[in-house]
Each structure stands twice: as structure tokens, then as C-alpha cells.
Amino acid sequence: MSATSEHTSLHIAFITDGEPFHGASPEERALGGSETALVQAARALARAGHGVQVFCRCPQPGLYSGVIYHDRKDLVRACPEERWDVAVVSRHFVALDLPLQAGLKVLWNHDLLVKPEPLARRLEQLDLALVLSRFHAADYQGGLPALAPKLALTRNGLDLDFLEQASQGVARKPGRVTYVSRPERGLKILLKHIWPELRRRLPGLSLDICGYQMIDTPAQAGWQRENREIQDLIAASPGVRVLGGLAKRAYYAHLASCQCLLYPCAFPEISCLAALEAQALGTPLLTSDSFALSESVQLPEFLVAGRPGSPEYNRAYIERAVELLSDSPRALGLAARARQMVRQRYSWDLIVAEWTEMFLQAMGRRAAAQTPALAASLLLNGDLAVAEGLLQRPLAPPDEGPPPEDPDEAGLLQAMASLAWRALSGQGHAARVGVLSADHGRTARALAGLLATTPVEEVSLDHPEPRGYSLVVARDRLERAGDPAALLASLQDLCLPGGHLLLCVASGAWPLVGPGHLDRRHDLGREEIAALLPGRRVETHFLGRGMVNLGSARYLAGRWLALAPAQGPGLGRLDQKASLRRARPAPPGLVEEVRRAGLL
């Protein structure tokens, strides 16, 4: 069984921290580059048909452009309940410490690797590490050589449609130039060494500064001194205007109106989104032929060699800037070439398609190289059918007899009774409940006591009469059925029109928590239950029952309760490829234990 498919729809989560935002923030206010990239990548993945969630510091959770945004605190609930094909941790890699249930755990890096040690401690929890340029990759490989096999080269993307809309009808203003990056990355060089000479030679020039706020920000003492010097230079420089932070639409319109973007960069840029945006808008730019700028800037005419801030660099920068600003037709012609090149390569739709293929290939390689380890995890999580498909042979776990009581049997039965009362409300004295279980009537007897005057009967599919139940309860049966859809069909046939099904399913690595659960054939979570009952309103509740830590591997166990109408659209089927995508290899010690137990 292969983990890849041409038309695979993935379930993807993005997890980050830092600046608060939601799915419409780029259009509403100034937003950092990594946050903007996350929003736009998530949108592109949703457009491609993937299910996408974002966990961040979210002031307004909800659905935006097909993406569900949650506040980061909801991860406490989501970790035991949600299963993703891919979890992408953006920048803040401490999130890898969470018990994320994801087939692939991906770190999307947006910074230089300043302190390798904290990331080194989390390498076992990480499958892929995305870097934004060859320069970025070299930095990570040099700082943490053990990460090299997991590095995956990607690049920043652009929302080209939004760029086009925001710049529509904007006229370019002769003599207007701009600086749009953080001030410490090159603004001092520009104002102190370059701008005075440019103004002397081209008196009509005006410089607009926009981007991050440059005052009243907590910073180290060294940067505070630098900031004060930059503020003094701004105040003393003629023709300079500070625009501050702009929302993306206003920012793109401003950038499209400029004759040139000036960025004498002295900072080790790992990509430079501003340079990409300027080129996509057809705006000429001039920056340093250093760092990742040598990769992001498409034409050598827009790059200046040398050490930024050195006399040689400053002189060369001034001469090149005067050339670009004095010959506008030539500069715009160069910018048009760069625009075409950027638009062919930096669309988010193209980049996330590459990501999808990268993720699926990684899963496919893992399925081939770590088959026993994947099969061990599948078996312990109750996915016996998928493990057999992976190994291409039947497995025969021991017969452990009836499933044992739940660790919180009383609490479980009370939760089941509460959902039963909800389904039975309005049914009156005619209501009847049928219970299908594997515990010799224990659950039926307990529910009969909790539901008081409502008749509760144990049912058998071998002898399906009588029928006509208002509610049919199935406990510890659906996950053990060879064909769960066929079992559901039998259960709904027992119900009256308007009746309900109440499913109680053991999910996750129960054999690590307690015995009696090795004969499950399917590990059913919320998505799998919904897939079996498509088009129906399914109310689900998760009851956690524990987590086992085995090194970097975490195994969770719990129960799902699901209440759904018995009648509805046709029943669905389980996607075994999806279960395989979400499985993670068991650690070597656990694989050996499973072998010794004769389970593999």
C-alpha cells in the first residue's frame, strides 16, 4: 500500500506563536513576514483542496478563506483529539514538545540558527526542516550538522492575485524611492552614507520609510542606541517621510508607486520578502549581492557587490542608484523582466503544490524503509487492517476475550447516558434502546439503571429481532468490525425513522494503557467516524484515557462518543491510505517488544 496519490487531500495543521493574527490580518494591518507567509500558504493549500487549520495567538478565531483559525491555547484540547497528516510548526520549535498526532512533523524555519542546542534536543521529534534559500540551508547545516538529512529547500511565496489587485491603477511617481525593511538592516547606511549624495545629485528625490515601528519597542541597549541614531538621521535628512506600518493593500500600492526600492542590506537575509514583492510589482530595486539576496533578486543589475557600509560599497551603490533613477525606461524594462521571472517561480499555489509532493514522497519513503516500525504503531493503535495492508500479510493478535471495563467506567456510562437522554427527548414512553456490545450485557444493564423508565435491551445481529429502537448503542464493536460500514448499516436497520445511533469507540494505543484491546481492526477518530457517516450531523465527544511517553514518541488513548441520526445519506468507507499517512514509526525498543509478543 502506497502513502502517495496524485489527488490526495491532506489534513494539515500550522502551529506558531508570537505576533497575534487571524486569517484576514494581512488585509487589515501591517503584519510580519512569517505570519503573512503562513496565512497565504494556508490559503493556497485550502484552494488546492486540503483541510487546513492554524493554531496561533488568534484574536478572532473562525473560518477565513477556507482555513480554520484557532487560538493557540486550543492546542491543549486538539493534541489528543486531532490527527493530522502533516503538522507544520512555524518558527517556534518548542511546539514540537507537544504530543502532536501527525504523520509528518515539519519545522518551517524563518530565522538564522543562532542557538543550535534547543533544536538539537528536538531532532527526534522532527521529520523535515524547511529552509528558504541555499544560504539559509548552509547556515543550518553549519550550525547543526545532524539536521542536514532533514533539510528541505523551499522558498517564500507571494499572493500574486492580491498583488495585482492592490496595485491596479497605481501610477508610478518619478523621484519617489522607498525603504521598507526593518531599520537596523540597512537604514543607517542609507541615511548616513548614501542618501545625502543621492539628494545632491538628484535633488528631486524623496524617500518614504515604512515597515516596523521604530520607537518605543523593547530592545537591547545596543539597539536602543542604534535606534536613537537612526531617528536623529531621519530628522536631519531632507526629503524623508516616515509612513510607518501599512496594511498589505496600502503597502503594495505604495511599493508600486515608487521609482525604486533602496535597500543597502547589511543583515544576513535568508530570503527577503520585500525584494520579492518589489520585483513582482515591477518596481526596480537596489540591494546587496550578499546572503540570500543573491538568490531572491533575479537580475545582477539590481545587486551591488562588496561589504555593505564600506566606502567601496557605498560608492558603487550610489553610482548604480543614479543610473537606475536617471534612466527610468531602462530601469523599468529590467524590472519587467524580473517581474516575469518572480511570477513564474514564487506563486504560493506553485510552492504548496511542491510541498504536497514533498510530504507525500517523505511518507512513501518512510513506508518503504520503516515498514515494521510503522506496522507496530498501527497495531498498537488498533489499526490492524492497515498494518496488514502495509505488511501484505494477515496478522493474528491473541484472543483477549471481552473488552475490559473502562478505567473510568462510571464516568463513561454517565456520558453515554447523557447523550442517550438527548437523543430520546421527545420520544415519550414509546422510546426503546438497543445495546450492541461485546461485554455480555454489562453495558446494557448499566444503561438500563441510568435511563430509569426507558426500556434497554441487549441486541444481537445474529438475531436482529425485535426492531424499532429509538436509539441503538454500539460499544467496542465498530472498531472491531471487518467492515464498519456494513455494521452501521445493520445498526440503522434496527432503528425507527428518526432514531439515532450512539457509538462508543476505543481509540489510540490502548494496549500500552491496559490489556484487552489488541483485536481492534480500525483506529477510529473523529474524522474516520465522520467519513463513515457522511452528510449527517455527528456530535462527537472525546474522553481522554492517558498518554505513554517512549522517548520522543507519544502514544495517546481515549474513547470517542458519537451521536448521529440513524437515517441519512449513504454510508461511507474508511481510507486506509489516510491512516497510513498519519502513522508514525514506533521506536526500536517498542518494535522489539511487539516482535517478542508475536504480534508481528
Is residue 129 within 8 Å of residue 150, measured between CB atoms?
Answer: yes
CB neighbours (10 Å) of residue 501?
A: 26
CATH superfamily of 11-153: Glycogen Phosphorylase B; (3.40.50.2000)
Every domain of the chain and the residues it spans? 11-153, 160-345, 409-596
Query: Rounded to an integer, what distance in angstroms lies between the CA atom of residue 239 and that of residue 337?
Result: 30
Query: Rounded to an integer, what distance in angstroms lies between the CA atom of residue 324 and that of residue 543?
Result: 66
H or E segment and range at residue 355: helix 348-369
What number of H helices and E strands is found in the chain?
24, 20
Fold of the domain built from segment(s) 160-345: Rossmann fold (3.40.50)
Question: DSSP label at 430?
Answer: G
Fold of the domain built from segment(s) 409-596: Rossmann fold (3.40.50)
Is residue 91 within 8 Å of residue 108, measured between CB atoms?
Answer: yes
H or E segment and range at residue 512: helix 510-513
| Measured CA distances, 497 to 409, 467, 494, 501, 567 (Å) | 31, 11, 10, 12, 7
Percent helix, percent strand, percent coil in the chain, to nearest 5: 45, 20, 35
> The whole model's pTM is what?
0.93
Query: Rounded to an integer, what distance in angstroms lies between the CA atom of residue 223 and that of residue 243?
Result: 21
Question: What's the one-letter identity of residue 177?
Answer: V
* Two domains, one topology: 11-153 and 409-596: yes
Query: Rounded to an integer, what distance in angstroms lies between the CA atom of residue 167 and that of residue 258?
Result: 11
Question: DSSP label at 98?
Answer: S
Query: Rounded to an integer, what distance in angstroms lies between the CA atom of residue 519 and that of residue 399?
Result: 7
Q: DSSP alpha helices (H): ranges in 48-194?
A: 75-81, 116-120, 134-143, 160-167, 187-189
pLDDT by residue, tens only, the chain of 600 residues = 444 445 789 999 999 999 999 999 998 988 888 999 999 999 999 999 999 999 999 999 999 999 999 999 999 999 999 999 999 999 999 999 999 999 999 999 999 999 999 999 999 999 999 999 999 999 999 999 999 999 999 999 999 999 999 999 999 999 999 999 999 999 999 999 999 999 999 999 999 999 765 444 454 566 778 888 999 999 999 999 999 989 899 999 999 999 999 999 999 999 999 999 999 999 999 999 999 999 999 999 999 999 999 999 999 999 999 999 999 999 999 999 999 999 999 999 999 999 999 999 999 999 999 999 999 999 999 999 999 999 999 998 887 788 899 999 999 999 999 999 999 987 766 899 999 998 999 999 999 999 988 999 999 888 767 788 999 999 999 999 999 999 999 999 999 999 999 999 999 999 998 888 899 999 999 999 999 999 999 999 999 999 999 988 999 999 999 999 999 999 999 999 999 999 999 999 999 999 998 998
